[in-house]
Structures are given as C-alpha cells and as structure tokens.
Amino acid sequence: MEPTSSPVVRPIPTPTSAATFGPDAHCDTLGLAISSTFVPGAMDVYLGTFDQYIPLATERAASVDDPQQIWPGGYDYGDGLPDVIRLRGGSDIILRPQLDYDFPFDWPLEINAARAVLRVPGEGRNELAAPITASDSVTLSIPDRDLRGTLRLEFEASDRCLRYTGSGVGQVQVVRAATVDACPVDHEGYAAHWATLADPPLMVGDVPVDLGRIETLGLWTEYAVSSQGNTGLTTWSPDSETTKGVAGGTVRSEPANPALRLPFLEAVFYRRKAVVDMQAGGDWPSPVFRSTADPYADGHFELLVPSRAGRYVASLHVQWESACAYGGAAGAIGVDVE
C-alpha cells in the first residue's frame, strides 16, 4: 500500500559518543531522525503464533515530554484489509504491537492502554476484555463460538522518547474449539473432508459441476498438498450437460453445500470446437473471454458470460475454504450463449 505522503530525506545526526547521543539526552532530535529514516509510520499487531497481524495506522506520535505532533497521518489502508484472521474459539491470544519502520534505535515498546471491539453482523459491537498482561503485550480472550466479523484494535504505547496511538480493523473468523479438534490431521482425513465438501457440487445455472482440488492447506495443522496440471479444462467432457446464458449477461453460480465457502470464482472461456479439437490431439486452445467474480452476501456469484453468441467451454477456478482448511479447486462446464 502506498503511503499518503513521501518522507523528507535528511542525514541522520552522526553520534560522537554514547554519552552525547544517548536516547535520553537527544529525544529532542528524534523528530529529525524519524523524518529521515522512514515514511509516516504504523504499528502492526501480531496475534498469537499464527503469524497473523492487523495493521494499525498511526494516528499520532508525540514526544513524551512535548505533546506536539511529530508527523501527521499514517498509512491510508482504505478498504485494503488483510486476509481473514482465523482464531480458535475459547483460546487466549497474545497481542503484541510492533513498530513498522526501520529506525536506528531498538527501544522497548511499552503498552499503556489497549481496547478490542468485535463486531458481528446483526449483533452490533461487543467489547472484549484486553488486559495488559506484560509490558509489551495484551491477552485477548476469544469467545468459543462460530462467527465472522471484524476486530478493531486500539493501542496507546510509548518508548523512551515517544508515545504512540494507533488503531486498525481486521476481518476475523472464529471457529469453535470442538470443530477445530475434529478437523483432519493427515492426508486421508483431508481427502475425506474435501469429499464431503464437494458433494453436492457447484451449481452453475441449473447444472451441477464437479470440482477437483488443486491445493489444500490445513488451518489448524501443518498440512499442505497441491495437484499439478489440473486446469479444469482437462476435466470437461463433450457429453456433459451444458448451461445457457444471454450474451453479455450473467449466470448465477453457487456452492450447493453450505459448509463450503467460495471467496472467489474465475472462468476462462474457450470456443467449444477448439476444446474438442484439443482433446482429439490438436493444439491447446486460446482463451476468448475471462470473467472473475466475488461472492454476494449469501455466497452466490453472478458469472459474466461472453458478449458474443456461441458455444463455449468455461474452465472454472475457485478459492475455497471450510472450518478446517482452504485452497483452490477447478472444474469445467459447457456454456451456450444466445
């Protein structure tokens, strides 16, 4: 993400000795040193051991002795939230803020105050207890229930010369502890897990489409496997059922299994004849149209089809996730555009 403004580059004062350039003696020069070493800054708050974090846009960094503002603003994150942060229900998560810039002094950051607010659609705001359990960290107790929402964090912290206030919002998914404990732990278990998710199949219009896994990553166990060469197009058969669409219109598409969530769908369209020729030993066909879609609130997609009438084959690629795993999958379907 680009910062809202560019830093003014000035030389950092050269220390002559520890006695004359110690942090306590030279806090008044810190504004100059900061402006010459990093763009207007931010804090990242790391959650537990999952290497997940929420960025906090810095709202103010002021001298401990003088409350005047040293730099304005911070990063403009806009709507660019990080990936969904997944948390085990009923667990205590350690939150540890860390300054997100390169600075020549490595001073301990001490938390002075912290606040956490969880928002779940239809429930409003729920303030979570966020006690300071160590000088540099906060413990957050996660409720033991399935939910999706946003977590807003607010921190006040200080080091030997500066004090900081920052806030940020991250998308979170909490999974009940009992569900996590029942998740697969090995290859056979994840294969069985996918089989339950893929049945019933994806619906494109009124036609079912079987999806094949491309990649599976465990959310709660160290498991990762991928399948090379599955493009979706290779799974299509000329004898399979065909869906219909109107030129330039959309076709409703959605997973039939409520346990399977699809955050993203892409369709690459090829001329049907070119795909048939490829399967008979010809060259790989060239795509003629590409369509991408994000899900609506109820999980369905409106998949855009080509603006020219004709017979096509759509190679489908999806991102998928469940309470136990996430990854990619592919399939294909014939589409007759009128």
Least confident of 3-17, 19-33, 121-135: 3-17
* Model confidence band, residue 3 (pLDDT cutoffs 50, 70, 90): very low
- β pairing state of 310-321 and 224-226: unpaired
pLDDT of residue 188: 92
pLDDT surpasses 70 at 326: yes
- β pairing state of 212-218 and 325-337: antiparallel
336 CB burial (10 A radius; 0-12, 13-18, 19+): middle
Q: Which of 135, 90, 143 is nearest to 116 (CA)?
A: 143
* Model confidence band, residue 83 (pLDDT cutoffs 50, 70, 90): low
Distance between first and last Cα of the chain: 42
Mean pLDDT of the chain: 76
With beta carbons less than 8 A apart as the criterion, state whether 120 and 171 touch. no
Mean pLDDT within 85-105:
72
pLDDT surpasses 60 at 22: no
Q: Residue 269: helix, strand or coil by DSSP?
A: strand
CA distances from 174 to 76, 126, 147, 279 (A): 27, 14, 5, 45
pLDDT of residue 208: 95
Range 27-177 classified under CATH 2.60.40? yes
Q: Which of 128, 120, 124, 122 is nearest to 153 (CA)?
A: 128
Gap between the Cα atoms of 56 and 58, Å rounded: 6
Give this prediction's pTM.
Answer: 0.69
Which runs of E-coded beta strand occur in 176-241? 202-204, 207-209, 212-218, 224-226
CB-CB neighbours of 7 under 10 Å: 16
Share of the chain above pLDDT 70, in %: 70
pLDDT of residue 109: 75
pLDDT of residue 47: 60
* Model confidence band, residue 197 (pLDDT cutoffs 50, 70, 90): very high
200 versus 29: the higher-pLDDT residue is: 200
Q: Which of 56, 89, 86 is nearest to 74 (CA)?
A: 56
Least confident of 21-35, 138-152, 218-232, 290-304: 21-35
Gap between the Cα atoms of 70 and 63, Å rounded: 8
What amino acid is encoded at 189 in this protein?
G
61 versus 262: the higher-pLDDT residue is: 262
- Any idea where the domains of the chain sit in the sequence? 27-177, 183-337
Three-point CA angle 247, 252, 257, nearest 5°? 155
Least confident of 23-32, 86-95, 217-226, 326-335: 23-32
115 versus 7: the higher-pLDDT residue is: 115
Greatest pairwise CA separation for the chain in angstroms: 83
pLDDT of residue 315: 95
Least confident of 76-90, 173-187, 188-202, 261-275: 76-90
With beta carbons less than 8 A apart as the criterion, state whether 235 and 331 touch. yes
pLDDT of residue 303: 94
* Model confidence band, residue 68 (pLDDT cutoffs 50, 70, 90): very low
Q: Which of 258, 231, 255 is nearest to 314 (CA)?
A: 231
pLDDT of residue 130: 85
How many CA atoms are closer than 13 Å to the CA of 27, on its beta-carbon side? 15
With beta carbons less than 8 A apart as the criterion, state whether 288 and 271 touch. yes
pLDDT surpasses 70 at 51: no
Q: pLDDT tens, 111-134?
A: 888 888 898 988 878 888 888 888
Gap between the Cα atoms of 155 and 164, Å rounded: 8
pLDDT of residue 161: 65
37 versus 160: the higher-pLDDT residue is: 160
Q: pLDDT tens, 208-239?
A: 999 998 989 888 888 888 765 567 888 899 99
pLDDT surpasses 70 at 16: no
Gap between the Cα atoms of 165 and 187, Å rounded: 46
Q: Mark 185-217 as b/e (b = at least 16 C-beta within 10 Å).
A: eeeebbeebbeebbeebbbbbebbbebbbbbbb
pLDDT of residue 159: 72
Mean pLDDT within 139-143:
88
pLDDT of residue 268: 95
Gap between the Cα atoms of 153 and 89, Å rounded: 18
pLDDT of residue 74: 24
With beta carbons less than 8 A apart as the criterion, state whether 82 and 62 touch. no
